[in-house]
Amino acid sequence: MIAVDEVLSQAMLSLLDARVAIYKNYLSLDRRGKRTARNEYVCLRMMTVSGVGPIPALTFKAAIDDPARFKSSRTVSAHFGLAPRRYQSGEHDNPSRISRAGDRDVRATLYAVANSLLMRTMAGSQIKSWGTRLMRTKGRRRAVVAVA
């Protein structure tokens, strides 16, 4: 088809050239991201968890920035909106869904990593067995949020 139609040939060849240039830039950025994750101690520790690659590790590290500002892991989860919303008034104490406060992209990344850990990885770990027990009692989505 390209050999027959010269207009189509020019359009397709320029589109293919643009695709090659974009792909080369993507490969360059991917190598830089992997190299950066390999040189960061926190990222290396996170990548020991199955399901966590260089991109989620770098996303989490960039979002946390200074870990000293958090007293515990519960405050980190609340910072990203993974803690349950609560309605408390007098004798009422109703826990609700997650608050969804904070950075949406980090929350989505943590959720994807936790889902990968629970659903796709075959290797066993303490956090996976805890999440699996939660899945049986609370359901898959709540267990994934808890693991995240």
Tell me what pLDDT residue 94 has.
58
* pLDDT-derived band at 62, boundaries 50, 70, 90: confident
Q: Determine the 3-state secondary structure of 31 from DSSP.
A: helix
Average pLDDT over residues 38-58: 87
What are the extents of the domains in the chain?
1-39, 46-147
pLDDT at 70 over 70: yes
Tell me what pLDDT residue 8 has.
83
The b/e string for 93-130 (b: 16+ C-beta within 10 A; e otherwise) is eeeeebeeebeeebbebbbebbbbbbeeeeeeeeebee
Tell me what pLDDT residue 144 has.
84
Q: State how far Cα 33 lies from the chain centre.
A: 15
Q: Determine the 3-state secondary structure of 113 from DSSP.
A: helix
Q: Which of 23-27, 81-85, 95-99 has the lowest mean pLDDT?
A: 95-99
Residue that wins the pLDDT comparison between 78 and 117: 117
Residue that wins the pLDDT comparison between 76 and 99: 76
* pLDDT-derived band at 60, boundaries 50, 70, 90: confident
- What value does the mean pLDDT of the chain take? 83
Q: Note the pLDDT tens digit of each residue in 123-148.
A: 778 888 888 888 898 888 888 888 88
